[in-house]
A and B are shown apart, each in its own frame.
Chain A
Amino acid sequence: MWDYVIIGGGIAGLSSGAHLAPLGRVLVLEGEERLGYHSSGRSAALYEAEYGAPVTRALARASGADLHAMGVLSPRGFMVVGRAQDAAVFAEDAAELKLAPISVAQACQRFPILNAEIVAFAGIAEDAYSIDTDLLMQVYAKQIKRAGGEIRTSAQVTGLDCGAAGWRVQTAGDWIESRHVVNAAGAWADVVAKMAGVAPIGLQPYRRSMAQLPAPGGLDVSQWPMVVGAGETWYAKPEAGKLLVSPADADPVEPHDAWADDMVLAEGLARFEEMVTEPVTRVETSWAGLRSYAPDKTLVLGPDSSAPGFIWCAGQGGQGFLSAPGAARALAELLGGPASGQPADILSAVSPNRFRV
């Protein structure tokens, strides 16, 4: 008998597992052959706490200390640029993301391929960091194992039912018993809920695509900041000597192993190309991930009042990594663990029971 069977071995399941392991026996089940195969393996991997819904931002701010201490952050910087006609949108972004305004010349110094004739506005947040997402997942996986927990891959959940003694979870032909089930199934979290006979929460996956380009002009991109087009119309981020460019797309799709749509990618690359001096001559590879949101764009964390022992850890959207430590601590508190430091209004704002009235 397990205390917590966690469905999903992405950042949500692993961070929750690490923080629940001190409270009971934890088993993480991942349906794919490796951890973080879906959205967690396709992240833009940036820690910028002022990005997302207000509740997410509170959890993201609370995550900074853990992420620094775990050694997964490296300085990056986060710059927003706009054209002359983007004045209003740029002003909104600058206020929301608490950007320091900089001159176009300064912006071009930081990101040398920017087209100074097109860029009219620039602002930067220096306290934005690249997240080593693989390392972060490994650290959490080790914490789970060290605390006596277990992680199984290729362990897709095929059945879920609730009996008098707790939950039974079917995986790889076996039935496993657990006092609680934690639904950390990302884009599939509502599918898992339905399998369990629990009403879905209202999650919708939104696709986000990414193209990997060779370093423009053979330049060393390692110190460049992430750059975002005002209004989040595209972004570019240096990664391992390459430049990743995303159309910042948000097309609603069904839960699936996502891939990039060629036309969406081409339109996004054109928006990027308009702002830089180096043409895009070659896309080395492309991929897409799913950002799954509840209708209020806010995380769904904690026990479901409609189903005893059924716990949600879903709706991370595009903020799963940057809010993971704070969210996992909040989830542990909601399940009787130590105080997370989050105020009561944040803990109630993330509760799945906001959808249960």
Chain B
Amino acid sequence: MRKLTLPDSHAAMDGARRIAPSAGRNLLPITEVLVRVLPGHGRALELASGTGQHVAAFGRHFPGLTWQPSDGTEENLPSIAAWCGAVANVLPPVRLDACQPGWAAQWNGLDVLCLTNLLHLISDAEAWVLLDEVAQALAPGGVFCLYGPFRQAGKLISDGDAAFDAALKAQDPAIGYKDIETVMARLTAAGLTPDTPIPMPANNLMLIARRA
């Protein structure tokens, strides 16, 4: 895993819990979308849980689902466990590098897969592996919820996005914003049916894709 310096890298600590300043701000707009698309019951896997603050909140907001947090970085697991320990329907976190091919063989039959703010931090090749695995991990009728900043119609849609994308590419030329249209095409090719992306605060998008 590459080490990146991000706006949230200087996360505060509260015991084992790390706090990402932007985590709270985008949560309610996300859950307002999720409440319309998530099933009432079933198994949910969050990829790249990071601090674990989001998945703890998803656990409380959607108590009928059993949530599995995961992250590719071992050092993130204690913070995730600390945030989620008190939430009965969130399982202990597991290490899962979603960019490595093959994980869907172990994690299959999922009703829900969530991914927030990762695709711009990985390379195109890693992203396409991740999306292919996501498609295979979902059960028929399963739903993939993808949130983050994207290029739209080939363009970075604000000065802030252009600056962030440039800052990422300066750290690693392979990473940066993905085209939402390419992401949708990859998901379609992998057997999912993406909805029209939903505009979210701060120029982010939420993409919902389902397996038939």
Q: Which residues 213-256 in A have Cβ within 8 Å of B in the complex?
A: 231, 249-252, 254
Q: How far is the CB of B10 from chain A (nearest CB, A)?
A: 9
Is B32 touching A252 in the complex (CB atoms < 8 A)?
A: no
Residues 156-200 of B, flagged 1 when their CB comes within 8 A of A and 0 if not, give 001110000000000000000000000000000000000000000
Is A202 touching B53 in the complex (CB atoms < 8 A)?
A: no
Is A295 touching B32 in the complex (CB atoms < 8 A)?
A: yes
Is B60 touching A204 in the complex (CB atoms < 8 A)?
A: yes
Residues 1-41 of B, flagged 1 when their CB comes within 8 A of A and 0 if not, give 00000000000101000010101110110011011100010
Stretch from A74-82, A151-159, A259-267 that touches the partner: A259-267
Is B27 touching A252 in the complex (CB atoms < 8 A)?
A: yes
Is A252 touching B63 in the complex (CB atoms < 8 A)?
A: no
Cα(A355)–Cα(B60), bound, Å = 13
Cα(A85)–Cα(B161), bound, Å = 13
On chain A, the residues within 8 Å of B87 by CB distance are: 254
Is A206 interfacial (CB 8 A cutoff)? yes
Is B131 interfacial (CB 8 A cutoff)? no
Is A261 touching B86 in the complex (CB atoms < 8 A)?
A: no
Cα(A261)–Cα(B11), bound, Å = 13
Residue of B nearest to A88 (CB): B158
Cα(A295)–Cα(B21), bound, Å = 20
Is B86 touching A252 in the complex (CB atoms < 8 A)?
A: no
On chain B, the residues within 8 Å of A254 by CB distance are: 86-87
Cα(A178)–Cα(B66), bound, Å = 34
Partner of A252, one of B21, B57, B64, B158: B57
Is A139 interfacial (CB 8 A cutoff)? no
Is A72 interfacial (CB 8 A cutoff)? no
Is B103 interfacial (CB 8 A cutoff)? no
Q: Most chain-B CB neighbours within 10 Å: which of A201, A204, A263, A267?
A: A204
Residue of B nearest to A249 (CB): B24
Is B35 touching A296 in the complex (CB atoms < 8 A)?
A: yes
Is A190 interfacial (CB 8 A cutoff)? yes
Partner of B62, one of A202, A263, A293: A202
Is B63 touching A204 in the complex (CB atoms < 8 A)?
A: no
Is B61 touching A202 in the complex (CB atoms < 8 A)?
A: yes
Cα(A201)–Cα(B31), bound, Å = 13
Q: How far is the CB of B92 from chain A (nearest CB, A)?
A: 17
Q: Which residues 27-81 in B have Cβ within 8 Å of A in the complex?
A: 27-28, 31-32, 34-36, 40, 53-54, 56-57, 60-64
Is A203 interfacial (CB 8 A cutoff)? yes
Q: Most chain-A CB neighbours within 10 Å: which of B31, B56, B64?
A: B31
On chain B, the residues within 8 Å of A173 by CB distance are: none
Residue of B nearest to A263 (CB): B12
Q: How far is the CB of A353 from chain B (nearest CB, A)?
A: 12
Cα(A296)–Cα(B31), bound, Å = 7
On chain B, the residues within 8 Å of A251 by CB distance are: 19, 23-24, 53
Cα(A119)–Cα(B69), bound, Å = 42
Residue of B nearest to A262 (CB): B12
Is A252 touching B62 in the complex (CB atoms < 8 A)?
A: no
Cα(A306)–Cα(B77), bound, Å = 36
Cα(A263)–Cα(B14), bound, Å = 11
Residue of A nearest to B19 (CB): A251
Q: How far is the CB of B33 from chain A (nearest CB, A)?
A: 10
On chain A, the residues within 8 Å of B54 by CB distance are: 252
Q: How far is the CB of B96 from chain A (nearest CB, A)?
A: 22
Q: How far is the CB of B190 from chain A (nearest CB, A)?
A: 28
Is B60 touching A250 in the complex (CB atoms < 8 A)?
A: no
Is A199 touching B63 in the complex (CB atoms < 8 A)?
A: yes
Residue of B nearest to A252 (CB): B57
Contacts A251-B23, A254-B86; A202 near B60 (Cβ below 8 A): yes
Contacts A251-B23, A263-B12; A206 near B63 (Cβ below 8 A): no
On chain B, the residues within 8 Å of A293 by CB distance are: 28, 31
Is B31 touching A295 in the complex (CB atoms < 8 A)?
A: yes
Q: How far is the CB of A185 from chain B (nearest CB, A)?
A: 14
Partner of B23, one of A201, A252, A267: A252
Is A69 interfacial (CB 8 A cutoff)? no
On chain A, the residues within 8 Å of B25 by CB distance are: 250
Since A252-B60, A293-B31, A295-B62 are in contact, a sample of 12 more A-B pairs with Cβ atoms closer than 8 Å, ordered by chain A residue number, is A201-B63, A202-B61, A204-B27, A231-B201, A250-B25, A250-B27, A252-B54, A261-B14, A264-B12, A295-B31, A296-B32, A357-B40
8 tightest Cβ-Cβ pairs between the two chains A and B: A252-B57, A250-B24, A295-B61, A251-B24, A295-B35, A295-B31, A204-B60, A200-B63
Please name 13 pairs of A and B residues whose Cβ atoms are closer than 8 Å in the assembled complex, sorted by A. Answer: A201-B63, A202-B61, A204-B57, A206-B24, A250-B24, A250-B28, A251-B24, A251-B53, A252-B23, A264-B19, A295-B35, A297-B28, A297-B32
Give A contacts to B, CB under 8 Å.
85, 88, 190, 199-204, 206-207, 231, 249-252, 254, 261, 263-264, 267, 293-297, 355, 357
